[in-house]
Structure 1
Amino acid sequence: MSTKGIEIMADHARRVAVFSLGGTIAMTAQTGGGATPTLTADDLVAAVPGLADTGITVEVHSFRQLPGASLSFGDLFDLAVAIEEVAVDGVVVTQGTDTIEETSYLLDLVTTGDMPIVVTGAMRNASMAGADGPANVLAAIRVAASTDARGTGCTVVFGEEIHAARWVRKTHATSPLAFTSYPGPIGYIAEDRVRVMARPTKSPTIDPRGSATPSRTAVVTVGLGDDGTILQAVGEQVDGLVVAAFGAGHVPMACVDALTDLAKRMPVILATRTGSGPVLRQTYGFPGSESDLLARGLISASTLDPVKARILLQLLLMTSADRDQIAQSFSAIS
Structure 2
Amino acid sequence: MPPYADPPPAGRRVTVFSLGGTIAMTGGPGSGVVPTLTAADLVAAVPGLAGTGVTVRVHDFRRLPGASLGFDDLTALVTAARRAVDDGADGVVVTQGTDTIEETAFALDLLWPYDAPLVVTGAMRNPTLAGADGPANLLAAVTVAAAPAARRTGCLVVLGDEIHAARWVRKTHTTSPVAFRSPDVGPVGLVAEGRPRILTRPARHRLDADVRDPGTVRTAVLPVVLGDDGATLRRAGSGLDGLVVAGFGVGHVPAAAVAVLTDLAAGMPVVLASRIGAGPVLAGTYGFPGSESDLLSRGLISAGTLDCYKARILLHLLVAAGHDRGRITATFATIGAGD
Report if the CA contact (8 A) 1:14-1:145 is conserved. Answer: yes
Q: How does 1:142-291 map to 2 (within 5 A)?
A: 142-181=143-182, 182-210=184-212, 214-291=216-293
- Residue by residue over 1:261-290, the C-alpha shift from the partner in whole angstroms, topping out at 9 and shown as x without a partner, is 111111000001111111110111111111
**Secondary structure in structure 1 of the residue aligned to 2:137:** helix
- Residue by residue over 1:40-74, the C-alpha shift from the partner in whole angstroms, topping out at 9 and shown as x without a partner, is 00000000011111111111111110010111111
- Residue by residue over 1:145-179, the C-alpha shift from the partner in whole angstroms, topping out at 9 and shown as x without a partner, is 11111111101001010110011101111111111
**Secondary structure in structure 2 of the residue aligned to 1:202:** coil
Output the CA distance in 1 between the equivalents of 2:37 and 2:14. 19
- Residue by residue over 1:76-135, the C-alpha shift from the partner in whole angstroms, topping out at 9 and shown as x without a partner, is 111000000012111100000011011101111111021100000001111111100000
C-alpha deviation, 1:192, in angstroms: 1.2
Give the residue type in structure 1 aligned to 2:317: L
- Residue by residue over 1:163-216, the C-alpha shift from the partner in whole angstroms, topping out at 9 and shown as x without a partner, is 100111011111111110121100011111111111121113244444658320
**Secondary structure in structure 1 of the residue aligned to 2:42:** helix
C-alpha deviation, 1:32, in angstroms: 4.0
Distance 1:208 1:67, change over 3 A: farther
Report if the CA contact (8 A) 2:273-2:304 is conserved. Answer: yes
Matched, 1:313 2:315: yes
Matched, 1:115 2:116: yes
Aligned counterpart for 1:60 among listed residues 58, 61, 82: 58
**Secondary structure in structure 1 of the residue aligned to 2:191:** strand
Report if the CA contact (8 A) 2:214-2:316 is conserved. Answer: no
Output the CA distance in 1 between the equivalents of 2:206 and 2:43. 32
Report if the CA contact (8 A) 2:71-2:214 is conserved. Answer: no
Give the residue type in structure 2 aligned to 1:171: T
Distance 1:13 1:178, change over 3 A: same
Counterpart of 1:103? 104
Question: What is the TM-score when the length of structure 2 is the normalising length?
Answer: 0.93
Counterpart of 1:40? 38
Output the CA distance in 2 between the equivalents of 1:204 and 1:267. 20
Query: Which is further off, 39-48 or 210-219?
Result: 210-219
Distance 1:50 1:12, change over 3 A: closer
Give the residue type in structure 2 aligned to 1:174: T
Report if the CA contact (8 A) 1:68-1:98 is conserved. Answer: yes
The aligned length equals 325
Output the CA distance in 2 between the equivalents of 1:282 and 1:210. 36
C-alpha deviation, 1:254, in angstroms: 1.0
**Secondary structure in structure 2 of the residue aligned to 1:21:** strand
Counterpart of 1:17? 15
Output the CA distance in 2 between the equivalents of 1:69 and 1:105. 15
Query: Which is further off, 269-278 or 25-34?
Result: 25-34
C-alpha deviation, 1:256, in angstroms: 0.7
Report if the CA contact (8 A) 2:71-2:215 is conserved. Answer: no
Report if the CA contact (8 A) 2:70-2:215 is conserved. Answer: no
C-alpha deviation, 1:13, in angstroms: 1.1
Output the CA distance in 1 between the equivalents of 2:122 and 2:172. 15
Distance 1:320 1:209, change over 3 A: closer
Output the CA distance in 2 between the equivalents of 1:240 and 1:49. 46
- Specify every segment of 5 or more residues in structure 1 that has no aligned partner in the other structure, as ranges: 1-9
Counterpart of 2:127? 126
Question: What is the TM-score when the length of structure 1 is the normalising length?
Answer: 0.95
**Secondary structure in structure 1 of the residue aligned to 2:243:** strand
Task: Please report the RMSD computed on the Cα atoms of aligned residues, expressed in angstroms.
Answer: 1.5
